[in-house]
A and B are shown apart, each in its own frame.
Chain A
């Protein structure tokens, strides 16, 4: 039971990260290949507050969300001046710098990381693996509801217009600066939230948990599932989140199989498994088509 609960929590955290990146990259079209930096900022904020200042999980969770969002606002403002590949490279740099700070500054535990993080508690109940799994998937559900709401409102609409053609969106009267910053704030805030849950789930964190390979994995989840598609990103997060466990039996060849699956999916589903226009998405859309479904006007 504990094994499945731990797996469910891990996958839940991956899915949260994928959903959060989807708002920035999938919806607003802003490249971010250093998303793990915000995951780490959330985790370290929560860990420091809990171990050094005695703040409980719930208080630390809110502060981790705020810290992620604040750093996202900074990156959002940077994105006003940098586009596409330049922004992508900046986010990679941000990831390396963040990891280096966590690794070298003694306040953050240096290379030893931070241990002794308390698991969440409600009243007398200390969260075990099952409660943490329920918590992580409850947060996933809340993020999906929020994301669905934003997607159907003018916010999501404006983001997709910016993603498709930023200049044309500005010429339609869309305040590109405001929406880009908002997309970064919401996306990185959720990543900070995921970081907090991760820190209190693992009870020990170190800088290596938030490296560039984690950023690439999160991005792969979004691309695999289909940029901008919530069900797609959920599916991408579950598949790639579970893949290390599913392919554990082939031990050393795990990464080879893992990579081959990604290549094959990209070959046959270039817009992702459930991305716009993919065969699977059209098949499902045909099966569940509802008359009158679509974007609701303000």
Chain B
């Protein structure tokens, strides 16, 4: 069966600097895949190119068999991708509910929008309590809930989450990963991009290790964390883990 998302030799350049160097990866339907790597490995650049927020310098992005490489961002969303950007990027001057409704922007069927809203409120009761509050007044954890909830509003086939743990307290990070695990077990395909590799590889089935814009290792998530290159990518090549 063809993968839901296929990235072939993706290249991203900022001016003359090439930051993503021929990355290829696949996400099959129902999978939870993690792209892990240290800070500065250019994980986010891959996602931004995938979402059409930066133009790729080369390669192809294929979603559901359709080549979206040169298509605008909204066509990816219309094609079934939900995106939780790094740093949440909620709309601070809009209320919680309006932020959520913004996520359903591409959904024309009002009944479907209301169903999605009810589902998000069922997953995140805290958001329902604060539905009329301005998004900028939420705590970091609540803002992350809002960002995930907003991405779920369009009932995506593939949920892409960028650095879910960033800036969150350890207890909230655990809750966030439990939630991702729950969504995945309910049948959602998930692509996680995460600096916290240990947590990410606990919930993922397959992993890619990124270093300096290149995938240097890929395999079953359970096999990756013990690999010598994995430690090297995070701490340097001469480090030994006891």
In the complex, the chain A residue whose C-beta lies closest to that of B94 is A160
Contact status of A276 and B105, CB under 8 A, knowing A170-B52, A171-B85, A297-B110: no
In the complex, the chain B residue whose C-beta lies closest to that of A276 is B93
In the complex, the chain A residue whose C-beta lies closest to that of B99 is A161
Cα distance, A169 to B92, chains bound together (Å): 12
Q: Are B102 and A157 in contact (CB under 8 A)?
A: yes
Q: Are B108 and A298 in contact (CB under 8 A)?
A: yes
- Chain B residues lying within 8 Å of A163, measured Cβ to Cβ, are 93
Stretch at the interface among A48-56, A92-100, A172-180: A172-180
Q: How near does chain B come to A148, taking the closest CB pair, in angstroms? A: 16
Cα distance, A163 to B92, chains bound together (Å): 10
Cα distance, A177 to B73, chains bound together (Å): 11
Whether a CB of chain A sits under 8 angstroms from the CB of B190 is: no
Q: Are B85 and A173 in contact (CB under 8 A)?
A: no
Cα distance, A296 to B73, chains bound together (Å): 25
Cα distance, A157 to B105, chains bound together (Å): 9
B 103-141 contacts with A by CB, 8 A: 103, 105-106, 108, 110, 113, 132
Q: Are A170 and B53 in contact (CB under 8 A)?
A: yes
Whether a CB of chain A sits under 8 angstroms from the CB of B72 is: yes
Q: Are B53 and A171 in contact (CB under 8 A)?
A: yes
Q: Mark B47-60, 1 if CB is under 8 A from A, else 0.
A: 01001110000000
What's the A-B contact tally at a CB cutoff of 8 Å?
78
Whether a CB of chain A sits under 8 angstroms from the CB of B7 is: no
Whether a CB of chain B sits under 8 angstroms from the CB of A165 is: yes
Out of B92, B101, B106, B110, name the residue touching A295 (CB < 8 Å): B101
Q: Mark A257-283, 1 if CB is under 8 A from B, else 0.
A: 000000000000000000010000000
Q: How near does chain A come to B42, taking the closest CB pair, in angstroms? A: 17
- Chain A residues lying within 8 Å of B108, measured Cβ to Cβ, are 298
Give 19 A-B pairs besides A164-B91, A172-B77, A294-B97 with Cβ atoms closer than 8 angstroms: A157-B101, A157-B105, A158-B105, A160-B91, A160-B94, A161-B102, A165-B90, A165-B91, A167-B89, A168-B85, A171-B73, A171-B83, A172-B105, A172-B150, A177-B72, A276-B93, A294-B98, A297-B110, A298-B110
Q: Which residues of A come within 8 Å of B, CB atoms?
A: 154, 157-158, 160-161, 163-165, 167-177, 276, 294-295, 297-298
Q: Which residues of B come within 8 Å of A, CB atoms?
A: 48, 51-53, 72-74, 76-78, 83, 85, 89-95, 97-98, 101-103, 105-106, 108, 110, 113, 132, 150, 154
9 nearest A-B pairs in the assembled complex, by CB-CB distance: A173-B77, A168-B89, A170-B73, A173-B106, A164-B91, A171-B83, A173-B74, A175-B74, A173-B105
